[in-house]
């Protein structure tokens, strides 16, 4: 069966031209593998092997992404991510987006405090806890620190107009901001990002992973939110990076794991024409 009929992993291809399908599949790879702005993407030969199509087709798909400004070719160096893609990750699995970067044009990096104020909601917190802990394998990988590094952890239930809206856990390396500074400056109606901004920690952009999940009354999230029966929830995992002239060199400065109850938050990404 030829490449125009079926791809390497046996998935039926659509009626779109093959180079258009490959363009979309390359976008998916960039989204799912969390490529950062300025990072070099796999070479053509590797894409030919992983996608199971010809080099000519891969080149055509890459050319379309270059024309759209998502990729940038650098003579003698390779092809690099120039602007955050959307990709088929919108239709299958978690959505990865870089928000607030000057290059993406996807929107401003705003805290939930600002969003709530715009909607006329009053935020507060309960069960607020600020503590220090050692980075485990997952935290160390995401925050790019050695295992055991000291982290500041902020956990709380966020209330909107007095009703539980979300369970939030934020982690930040202690060399970025001291736990005592967080305890002193954290407001129940604010976010850790507000504290970082007040302490002049330069946060330039963030990555969001958005997915649906189920929380039950017996798990940690359900207990925190006071659930009496299982409920669908919106899981939002966000990694924030320092502001830098070269996003490829940006250091992660905060990792947040947030779970929102249904109907409590509408996430909007608006892409404006260039």
pLDDT confidence bin for 6, thresholds 50/70/90: very low
Block residue for tokens 């929107």: 107
Whether residue 201 lies inside any domain: the answer is yes
* Dist CA 112 CA 103 (whole Å): 22
Residue 81: pLDDT over 90: no
Question: Quick one: pLDDT band at residue 89, thresholds 50, 70, 90?
Answer: very low
Q: Confirm whether 12 is domain-assigned.
A: no
| Number of domains the chain contains | 2
In a domain, 48, yes or no: yes
CATH number, domain with residue 127:
3.40.1410.10
**Mean local confidence (pLDDT), 2-7:** 42
Confidence (pLDDT) at 5 = 37
Over 70: is that where the pLDDT of 10 sits?
no
Residue 13 falls inside a structural domain: no
Asked if residue 65 and residue 104 are part of one domain, the reply reads no
Tell which residue, 195, 193, 194, has the closest CA to residue 206: 193
Which of 106-115, 136-145, 212-221, 245-254 has the largest mean confidence? 136-145
Among 38, 70, 90, identify where a domain stops.
90
Instruction: Clarify whether residues 136 and 199 are in a common domain.
Output: yes
Question: Domain for residue 104, yes or no?
Answer: yes
- Proportion of the chain above pLDDT 90, given as a percent: 21
Same domain, residue pair 106 and 215? yes
Residues 164 and 128 in one domain: yes
Is 50 exceeded by the pLDDT of residue 165? yes
CA 257 remoteness from chain centre: 11
Mean pLDDT confidence for 212-228: 88
Tokens of residue 42, six digits: 């796999």
- CA-angle at 65, arms to 60 and 68, nearest 5°: 130
Residue that wins the pLDDT comparison between 256 and 37: 256
- Same structural domain for residues 77 and 209? no
For residue range 28-75, what is the model confidence (pLDDT) as tens digits?
Answer: 887 777 677 778 888 888 899 888 888 888 888 898 888 888 888 887
User: What span, in angstroms and rounded, lies between the C-alpha atoms of 50 and 26?
Assistant: 10
The SS3 call for residue 124 is strand
Q: Is residue 266 part of a domain?
A: no
Supply the pLDDT for residue 16.
Answer: 66
Instruction: Report CA torsion sign: 38, 39, 43, 46.
Output: negative
Domain boundary among 58, 90, 122: 90
Token pair 């809206």: residue: 165
CATH number where 25 lies: 1.10.10.10
Q: Indicate whether 100 and 217 sit together in one domain.
A: yes
Task: Provide the domain limits for residue 65.
Answer: 18-90
Residues 31 and 105 in one domain: no
Q: What is the pLDDT of residues 181-212, one digit of tens each?
A: 999 999 888 888 888 888 888 887 778 787 88
Last residue within a domain, chosen from 90, 116, 131: 90
105 and 84 within one domain: no
Residue 11 lies in a domain: no
Q: What percent of the chain has pLDDT over 70?
A: 73
Residue 249 and residue 114 in one domain: yes
Do 163 and 194 lie in one domain? The reply is yes
Q: What pLDDT sits at residue 153?
A: 96
**pTM of the predicted model as reported, rounded to 2 decimal places:** 0.58
Q: If we measure between CA atoms, which residue out of 126, 123, 122, 111 comes closest to residue 224?
A: 126
Spatial distance between the Cα atoms of 203 and 242, rounded to a whole number of angstroms = 4
200: which DSSP letter? T
Q: How far is CA 109 from CA 74, 157, 163, in A?
A: 29, 22, 25
Q: Do 239 and 118 fall within a single domain?
A: yes
pLDDT at 25 over 80: yes
Is 3 within the bounds of a domain? no
Same domain flag for 212 and 155 = yes
């Amino acid at each position: 069966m030829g490449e125009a009929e079926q791809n390497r992993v046996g998935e039926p291809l659509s009626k779109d031209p093959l180079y258009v399908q490959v363009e979309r599949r390359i976008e998916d790879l960039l989204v799912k593998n969390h490529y950062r702005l300025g990072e070099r993407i796999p070479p053509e030969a590797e894409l030919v092997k992983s996608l199971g199509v010809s080099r000519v087709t891969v080149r055509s798909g890459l050319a379309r992404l270059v024309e759209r400004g998502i990729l940038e070719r650098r003579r003698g160096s390779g092809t690099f991510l120039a602007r955050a893609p959307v990709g088929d990750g919108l239709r299958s699995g978690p959505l990865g987006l870089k928000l607030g970067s000057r290059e993406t044009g996807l929107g401003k990096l705003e805290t939930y405090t600002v969003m709530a104020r715009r909607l006329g909601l009053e935020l507060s917190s309960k069960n607020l806890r600020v503590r220090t802990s050692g980075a485990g394998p997952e935290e160390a990988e995401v925050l790019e620190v050695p295992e055991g590094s000291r982290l500041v952890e902020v956990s709380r239930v966020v209330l909107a107009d007095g009703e539980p809206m979300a369970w939030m856990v934020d982690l930040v390396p202690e060399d970025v901001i001291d736990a005592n500074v967080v305890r002193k400056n954290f407001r129940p109606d604010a976010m850790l990002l507000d504290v970082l901004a007040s302490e002049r920690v330069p946060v330039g952009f963030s990555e969001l992973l958005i997915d649906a999940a189920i929380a039950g009354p017996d798990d940690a999230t359900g207990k925190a939110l006071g659930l009496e029966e299982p409920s669908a929830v919106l899981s939002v995992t966000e990694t924030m990076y320092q502001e830098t002239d070269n996003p490829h060199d940006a250091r992660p400065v905060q990792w947040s794991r947030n779970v929102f109850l249904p109907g409590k938050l509408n996430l909007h990404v608006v892409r404006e024409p260039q």
